[in-house]
Amino acid sequence: MAPCPGSARRRPLADRRPRRSRCNRREHTGPGDQRTHVGGSNGVVRPVGPAFSSRDTEPSYLAKIAAAQHEIREGNSYEVCLTTTLTARLPAAAAAPWPTYLALRRKNPAPFASYLRFGGLTVASTSPERFLRITSDGGMRAEPIKGTRRRGADPERDRQLREDLAASLKDRAENIMIVDLLRNDLSHFAEPGSVTVTRLCEIESYATVHQMVSTIDARLLPGSPRAEAVAVCFPAGSMTGAPKISTMAILDRLEEGPRGLYSGAIGYFSLNGATDLAVAIRTLVTTAEAGNGSGQAATAELTLGVGGAITADSVPDEEYDEIRVKAHGVLSALGADFPDA
């Protein structure tokens, strides 16, 4: 499924941004190909991957953050989950979707990892976020993620970053606003009085990031269609903001392009009535494009969506830095860098 729309203490920027070496401009090859740095003398071999470009330059993304904050000040939203798209193109033979997925799993293992192939479209996801689970006996659970820190280079710095996230009033506010939104979404098909928040603003640690996660549970109203219960919660509130409908209209204006599969949902509906769906984040989509028959070779387009929640307290430079942190797990597995522009 694809989505409908197209001052707290913060850690120092130096600890948050996966830096790009500006002296290491490279000609792209396939994901995971190995090359030695030209002119290097230390013998270190680094994967050389595709060169990504971004739909938004840093200045244009910062301008969109300012526009989102204007909408918040005007009372049109409380929280705007702004996103952008990174894109790369390479020869189709170099795309190697399955080895790329295996590299992603090694680099960034996640509880909702998935690999899908539909003809020329391939999806390699290492999502850590559950959108919605409905068990065969009617138990419902949503587990939104809001709040991110990179992992530290040493145990002490890693502990500090985790504690910084846990203590961040801004990140807690982001998370709690989405919890409130999802409580409302679940209530449409839940037994009265069954909606509960069983975990609030807990920290989970993954290979490349720490995340703030909450859990909302409910009981499905007997006789309710499960597909309709999923539909009323879709798209995930953690990928829209709140209130959902008016904020999606804001995003449709700001983002200037469709999200595609990114921020949708990946999962299954079972014959026994159970369903489990993850939010399509940390997800690389590969689209094969045939040659034109007159000498133009077949190519593949790689797309990666990234974004973050904007609130009235957001610091634009830090929000831009956060999307770099979120992209790092996937890009580093490809041997790629976040684009400069």
pLDDT confidence band for 292 (50 / 70 / 90): low
Burial of 45 (0-12, 13-18, 19+ CB in 10 A): exposed
Whether 244 sits among the annotated catalytic residues: the reply is: no
Looking at the domain assignment, is residue 18 inside a domain?
Answer: no
Looking at the domain assignment, is residue 41 inside a domain?
Answer: no
Q: Which of 129, 174, 255, 319 is catalytic?
A: 129
Looking at the domain assignment, is residue 20 inside a domain?
Answer: no
Looking at the domain assignment, is residue 15 inside a domain?
Answer: no
Question: Which of 315 and 44 is assigned the larger pLDDT?
Answer: 315
Task: Give me the number of domains the chain comprises.
Answer: 1
Q: What is the pLDDT of residue 341?
A: 62
Q: What percent of the chain has pLDDT over 90?
A: 79
Tell me, yes or no, if the pTM score tops 0.85: no
Q: What is the pLDDT of residue 98?
A: 94
Q: What is the pLDDT of residue 39?
A: 38
Lowest mean pLDDT among 42-46, 249-253, 272-276: 42-46
pLDDT digits 0-9 by tens, 59-100: 999 999 999 999 999 999 999 999 999 999 999 888 889 999
**Which structural domain range is residue 307 located in?**
59-333
Q: What is the pLDDT of residue 18?
A: 41
Q: Which of 146, 170, 244, 326 is catalytic?
A: 146
CA–CA separation, 322 and 325 (whole Å): 5
The contacts of residue 52 (CB under 8 Å, 6+ apart) are 86, 87, 88, 302, 304, 331, 336, 337, 338, 339
CB 147 within 8 A of CB 195: no
CATH number for the domain that contains residue 265:
3.60.120.10
Whether 170 sits among the annotated catalytic residues: the reply is: no
Looking at the domain assignment, is residue 146 inside a domain?
Answer: yes
Task: Name the nearest CA neighbour of 68 among 325, 339, 309, 333.
Answer: 309
DSSP 162-186: HHHHHH-HHHHHHHHHHHHHHHHHH
Tokens of 60: 């244009």
Alpha-carbon 148 to chain mean position: 11
Q: What is the pLDDT of residue 95?
A: 87
Looking at the domain assignment, is residue 51 inside a domain?
Answer: no
Looking at the domain assignment, is residue 26 inside a domain?
Answer: no
Instruction: Give, as one character, the DSSP assignment of residue 29.
Output: -
